[in-house]
């Protein structure tokens, strides 16, 4: 018990170092352990756009930055990246990209379908600017090329980790909205090319044969108390 107390006390005495960062040109001193997003809030910014799940999954917090003395362009998701001294950053709370309407039920999984809705994919220069800025380290150019070549399943697999942050689209000289193209590829793959597991087909068949109809009817007729009781006494896997 006492050991914990001393450790806690020690932690309070260590002071967190501060680093200087530049948010949209203005300099701030922020604690070095914070993520970019937390550092911006520390500096007094309030997020009404450009922040979402705060867990690296929604792609809302795309950030572009450079470091003092370095000409390179870096990108990050603000909620996932710790600040660095000399960071000069700005955010892209929204990336404009026209999303065409399509009915997935009437499409065929082919290069021609992708090109029909995204003819700009044919302009891809294979320059790889997109892959370089992807915060998820996806090989973006590769999946765009797979789409052009009609290899839809490969494109779907390659683009799996995409969070639609939009950074690739903004860097693309051919003006392709890569993440929208990837979404179409994944949808085509999921609907037409991916093999469904056998047990799914079996279960769907069972449902169609009304195997669970009585059971559902029974459950729907129960009162709240009876439902709670059933829930408490449900079958559980014992460890």
Q: Which residues lie near another protein (CB under 8 A)?
A: 110-113, 115-117, 119-120, 122-128, 131-132, 141-142, 145, 148-151, 173
For residue 112, the minimal CB distance to another protein (Å) is 5
> Which residue's CB is nearer to another protein, number 38 or number 154?
154
Helix (H) / strand (E) containing 18: strand 18-23
State the minimum distance, in angstroms, from the CB of residue 61 to another protein: 24
Of the pair 124, 188, the CB lying nearest another protein is at 124
- Residue 187: which of 125, 98, 114 has the closest Cα? 114
Q: Which two tokens stand for residue 190?
A: 């999921």
* Of 90 and 128, CB closest to another protein: 128
Smallest separation, CB 102 to another protein (Å): 10
Taking alpha carbons only, the member of 183, 161, 165, 171 closest to residue 124 is: 171
Q: Phi and psi for 136 in degrees, rounded to 5?
A: -95, 5
Q: Report, in Å, the least distance between residue 120 CB and another protein.
A: 6
CA distance 188 to 190: 6
* End-to-end CA gap in the chain: 31
Please say which residue, 191 or 205, places its beta carbon nearer to another protein: 191
Q: Which is closer to another protein, CB of 34 or CB of 135? A: 135
**Residue 181: in which H helix or E strand, if any?**
helix 178-188
Q: Which is nearer to another protein, 175 or 228 (CB)?
A: 175
Torsion of CA 114, 117, 122, 127, to 10 degrees: -90
Residue 90 Cβ, how far from another protein at the closest point, in Å? 23
Minimum CB separation of residue 111 from another protein in Å reads: 5
The H or E element containing residue 91 is: strand 87-91
């Amino acid at each position: 018990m006492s050991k914990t107390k001393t450790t806690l006390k020690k932690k309070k005495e260590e002071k967190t170092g501060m680093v200087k960062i530049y948010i949209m040109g203005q300099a701030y001193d922020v604690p070095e352990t914070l993520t970019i997003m937390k550092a911006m809030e520390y500096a007094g910014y309030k997020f009404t756009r450009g922040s979402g799940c705060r867990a690296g999954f929604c792609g809302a917090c795309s950030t572009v930055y450079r470091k003092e003395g370095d000409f390179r362009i870096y990108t990050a998701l603000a909620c996932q990246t710790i600040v660095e001294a000399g960071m000069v950053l700005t955010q892209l709370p929204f990336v404009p990209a026209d999303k065409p309407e399509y009915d997935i039920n009437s499409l065929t999984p082919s290069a021609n379908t992708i090109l029909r809705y995204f003819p700009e994919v044919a302009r891809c220069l294979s320059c790889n600017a997109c892959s370089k800025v992807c915060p998820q380290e996806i090989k973006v150019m590769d999946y765009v090329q797979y789409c052009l070549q009609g290899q839809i399943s490969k494109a779907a697999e390659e683009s799996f980790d995409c969070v639609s942050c939009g950074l690739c689209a903004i860097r693309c000289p051919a003006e392709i909205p890569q993440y929208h193209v990837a979404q179409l590829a994944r949808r085509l793959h999921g609907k037409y090319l991916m093999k469904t597991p056998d047990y799914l087909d079996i279960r769907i068949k069972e449902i169609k044969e009304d195997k669970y109809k009585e059971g559902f009817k029974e459950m729907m007729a129960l009162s709240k108390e009876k439902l709670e009781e059933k829930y408490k006494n449900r079958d559980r896997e014992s460890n």
